[in-house]
Structure 1
C-alpha cells in the first residue's frame, strides 16, 4: 500500500515538473517574456532620450533667434543683406590626395 502511494506521488511530481518546464506559463515562456520586457525597456529609454533632445531643440527654436538663424543658414542657405556667399568646390583628385598623408621626411642627426 505504501509503495502505491509513493508511486502515485512520484508520478504526480513528474507530471508537475513536465508542466512547469513545457506547459503554458512555464519557465521557457517566462524567460521569453523577460527578454521581451528588457528589450522594450531599452527601446523606451532610447526613445525617451531622443524625445528629450528634440524637446530641447524645439525650446531653442522657440526662444533663441540664434538657433533659428543657424538652422536657416545651414539647412536653407540663408544669406543676410550685405553678406557675400562663397562656395568652395574641391577638385575630384584633391579629395583623394588629401586622404593619403604624405610620407614624413627623415631628419638628419642633431
Structure 2
C-alpha cells in the first residue's frame, strides 16, 4: 500500500503535464483556435478577391467595352480618331 499513493501521484502529475504543456494541451488548443481565426480571415479576403477577378473575367468575355477599357489603362491605346494629351505635373521636390 505504500507504493499506491506515489504511483497515483505520478499518474496525476503526468496527466496534468499533458493537459497544460504537452501536445493537445490547453495552450495548444488556444493557439490552434487563433490560427484558425487568422486563416478564416485570410480565406474571406481571398474569396472577395476571387469574386472581383471572376467578375472581371466575365466582363472581358462578354463584351468589347471591358477589353477596350483594359487596353486603354494597361497598354495606353488610343482610337484612331482620338487625340492623346499627357498632363505632367511638376515635381514639388525639384521646384525648391
Question: What 5-or-longer segments of structure 2 have no aligned partner?
Answer: none
Question: Could you tell me how far 1:24 is from its partner in structure 2?
Answer: 2.1
Which structure 1 residue ranges, 5 or more long, are not aligned?
A: 97-110
> Bigger CA drift: 66-75 or 11-20?
11-20
1:30 is matched with 29
Shift of 1:14: 4.0
Larger Rg: 1
Q: Normalization by structure 1: what TM-score?
A: 0.67
1:2-30 deviation digits (Å, cap 9, x = unpaired): xx87x469724444222211122111111
Instruction: List structure 1 runs of 4+ shifted beyond 3 angstroms.
Output: 7-10, 12-15
SS of equivalent residue, structure 2 residue 79: coil
Cα distance in 1, alignment partners of residues 88 and 82 from structure 2: 19
**1:34-53 deviations in Å (ceiling 9; x for gaps):** 11211211111111111111
C-alpha spacing 1:23/1:70, structure 2 compared with 1 (3 Å): same
State the shift of 1:33 in Å: 1.4
Length, aligned pairs only: 92
TM-score of the aligned structures, taking structure 2 as reference length: 0.76
Find the aligned partners of 1:19 and 1:82 in 2 and give their Cα distance. 77
What RMSD, in angstroms, separates the aligned Cα atoms of the two structures? 2.4
Report deviation, 1:90.
2.2
CA–CA distance in structure 1, aligned partners of residues 21 and 73 of structure 2: 59
